[in-house]
Structure 1
Amino acid sequence: MKAVIPAAGQGTRLYPQTHTRPKPMVRVAGKPILGHILDGFRDTQVDEIVVVVGVMREHVEEYVTAEYGEEFEIVFAEQATAEGLGHCIYQAQDHVVDEPICIALGDMLFDSGYGEFLDAHSDLDGVDGSIGVKYVDDPTSYGVVSTADGVVDQLVEKPSEPTSNLAISGVYMIEDTATLFDALQHLIDNDIRGAGSEYQLTDALQRMVEGGAAFGTFSVADWYDCGRPETLLDANRVLLDKSDETSAEATSGMLIQPVDVGSGVTIERSVVGPHVSVDDGATIRDSRVRDSIVGRNAALSSVNASDTIVGEDAVVEQSPMQLNVGDSSEVEL
């Protein structure tokens, strides 16, 4: 089976972190978002992965090839212009020929690996695909499905008046890929744009349903949208809580687990944690840091930081507040 990962998003809601890298390469709990997604396909029947790239594609291609090229057959497709998720998935067409695929969004992380979702899909009989869903109180910010007799009868992207509370969680299993790409091509050829004036995957799936395709659903317990600073920090907390690894002691100071500390990190006269990931080469001195992400080679001095993101090579001094600092920035208060 193949997986398709749309990893072309610019990630404007994650500025300034995405000024210097594409959204899937923003780091959380010690590795890029995309790395956690690819880890989720280990020990599954997926052996080939199509990664759709866009802005700053070289960051994605270099990382994926170096870290996962020996585990999976990796191919890259390009979305030259950002015109929506449906348009992004359409770019994978040449690499998927009438084969079942798993679509895994490039900014969503899950409590469980994709093997659980693949098994849940396999348990459904006579379907052309299935969609991971979760009951939410307010589904207006999500794609929404409604069902009848266990089969999807309607899909709508970000409805103002939802017909159900079943939110699409960002993982899809498609058996009838030829019909999916036909539906996507119909949207593009006829310039049928949905929410956000973009070509939506949800609209293509709805077209399939209207044409008689049968879609089942499977439950997703929890997912973490890494597309905003606050949700990225939430994902960092959850992933660190789940980690079995315990970081080494600080150079001089205290680590309050769970934390993830990279190689070559210096922590002096500081208290770091809980829920802090510190990337390779970073320096933290005379500081208190909790619930934060500190980038590679960043330097923090006399900082009291909580719910803070500090980019690579950034310098932060004398700061008593919550911050979101981009790469190679300097902040002194």
Structure 2
Amino acid sequence: MKALVLAGGSGTRLRPITHTSAKQLVPVANKPVLFYGLEAIAEAGITELGLVVGDAHAAIEAAVGDGSAFGLQVTYLRQEAPLGLAHAVLIARDYLGDDDFVMYLGDNFIVGGITGLVERFTAERPAAQILLTRVGDPRQFGVAELDADGRVIGLEEKPEHPKSDLALAGVYLFSPAVHAAVAECKPSWRGELEITDAIGHLIESGQRVESTMITGYWKDTGNVTDMLEVNRLVLESAEPRVEGLVDVASELIGRVVIEPGAVVERSRVVGPAIIGGGARIRDSYVGPYTSIGASCTVTGSEIEYSIVLPRASIAEVGRIESSLIGHDVEVTPAPHTPRAHRLVLGDHSRARISS
């Protein structure tokens, strides 16, 4: 079995961060979310991986390399535009050959890995196996309809009137039969080749499509709210360790990770939290569910339930909560006079100001 990981999306819901960085490389507990998926694939015993990349291919290739750090052999497959999940299968046709494969969306996060899913697929050999989870608003997802025996009898992509609350999560397992089904697909109203249509062709041709309900946790980390929630979840399982320097005037409470080269001075860090390598925390408070990236500085400030990407600087700004702060960002206090806000905001940014 091979793996096909999709990392070619543009990440519009994470703008402006994704104007300069791939959404799959935004870190969760100081590790790119993509890496969690690669680790899950390797843990399932899969070694050959096709990585579908788009405009951000250079950054992803630099981060993943040849895959050997994960125990994988990575082949990069260029997708010129995000034209749908079935399109990704289409461009990977030669690479996949006649092998079974697992397709994993690179910005998805699943607790518990995929080993059990792979083992079940290998034992039962349906034409396809999908992963389902119950959601509050299924109109934002591909939605499955099941019969009384739990077999998939229909699929719709982002339906206006969903037939169930069962959304497709970002992991699919396929036999080579899916290639003929993909070849039958036509662009949807979104201009994309939908994987739900391909699976629908399998069902219509009488082939068996099975489903598995997620028993653990799943998130599509496509927006800031979900990124912060996944960061919280991962930090919950962090094992405390101190490999940097913490002075006697500082206090660490709970599950706190201080990575090598980090310095904490006259500060209080309440876990779960992680302070990245080379970061400096001075005269500050870092609260629960916060990830401070490598080489960041936090001075005279408070921050909680946030993700700060490498080399950002936060100085003398009071309290920050529920925030995602990008690479090399500088956060500083505004002048007290005149009473005005000075902003430099990227395209598609959102600013909330309390006057």
When normalised by structure 2's length, the TM-score is 0.84
Confirm or deny that 1:183 pairs with 2:181.
Answer: yes
Give the distance between the partners of 1:186 and 1:17, measured in 2 at CA: 36
For 1:307, the equivalent position in structure 2 comes to 322
Q: Which deviates further from its counterpart, 146-155 or 101-110?
A: 146-155
Instruction: Indicate which of 237, 243, 257 corresponds to 1:242.
Output: 237
Contact 2:108/2:220 (<8 A) preserved: yes
Contact 1:142/1:158 (<8 A) preserved: yes
For 2:277, the equivalent position in structure 1 comes to 263
Q: CA deviation at 1:134?
A: 1.2
Contact 1:157/1:195 (<8 A) preserved: no
Give the distance between the partners of 1:207 and 1:324, measured in 2 at CA: 49
For 1:135, the equivalent position in structure 2 comes to 134
Q: CA deviation at 1:294?
A: 0.7
Instruction: Indicate which of 224, 227, 243 corresponds to 1:229.
Output: 224
The residue type paired with residue 311 of structure 2 is: N
Give the distance between the partners of 1:38 and 1:164, measured in 2 at CA: 31
In structure 2, relative to structure 1, the CA distance for the partners of 1:155 and 1:56 (3 Å cut) is same
Bigger RCO (CA 8 Å, 6+ sep):
1
The residue type paired with residue 316 of structure 1 is: V
User: What whole-Å deviation, never above 9, does each CA across 1:197-231 have from its counterpart, x for those lacking one?
Assistant: 31111111111111111011111132111111111
Q: CA deviation at 1:42?
A: 3.1
Matches within 5 A, 1:39-188: 39-65=39-65, 68-69=68-69, 71-122=71-122, 125=124, 127-148=126-147, 149-175=149-175, 177=176, 179-187=177-185
Other structure's SS at 2:119 match: helix
C-alpha RMSD of matched pairs (Å): 2.3
In structure 2, relative to structure 1, the CA distance for the partners of 1:216 and 1:325 (3 Å cut) is farther
For 2:312, the equivalent position in structure 1 comes to 298
The residue type paired with residue 207 of structure 1 is: H
Count of matched residue positions in the alignment of Structure 1 and Structure 2: 319
The residue type paired with residue 202 of structure 2 is: M
For 1:194, the equivalent position in structure 2 comes to 188
Contact 2:42/2:70 (<8 A) preserved: no
Q: Which deviates further from its counterpart, 194-203 or 277-286?
A: 194-203
Confirm or deny that 1:276 pairs with 2:290.
Answer: yes
In structure 2, relative to structure 1, the CA distance for the partners of 1:67 and 1:243 (3 Å cut) is farther
Larger Rg: 2
Other structure's SS at 2:228 match: helix
Confirm or deny that 1:204 pairs with 2:194.
Answer: no
Give the distance between the partners of 1:261 and 1:95, measured in 2 at CA: 40
Q: CA deviation at 1:63?
A: 1.0
Q: CA deviation at 1:28?
A: 2.0
Contact 1:107/1:226 (<8 A) preserved: yes
Give the distance between the partners of 2:90 and 2:67, measured in 1 at CA: 26
The residue type paired with residue 234 of structure 2 is: L
Q: CA deviation at 1:145?
A: 1.0
User: What whole-Å deviation, never above 9, does each CA across 1:256-313 have from its counterpart, x for those lacking one?
Assistant: 1111211101000111021111111000001110011111111001231101111111
When normalised by structure 1's length, the TM-score is 0.89
Give the distance between the partners of 1:49 and 1:129, measured in 2 at CA: 19
In structure 2, relative to structure 1, the CA distance for the partners of 1:36 and 1:126 (3 Å cut) is closer
Give the distance between the partners of 2:159 and 2:303, measured in 1 at CA: 40
The residue type paired with residue 290 of structure 1 is: E
For 2:245, the equivalent position in structure 1 comes to none
The residue type paired with residue 205 of structure 1 is: I
Instruction: Give the share of equivalent positions with the same residue, in percent.
Output: 29
Other structure's SS at 1:90 match: helix
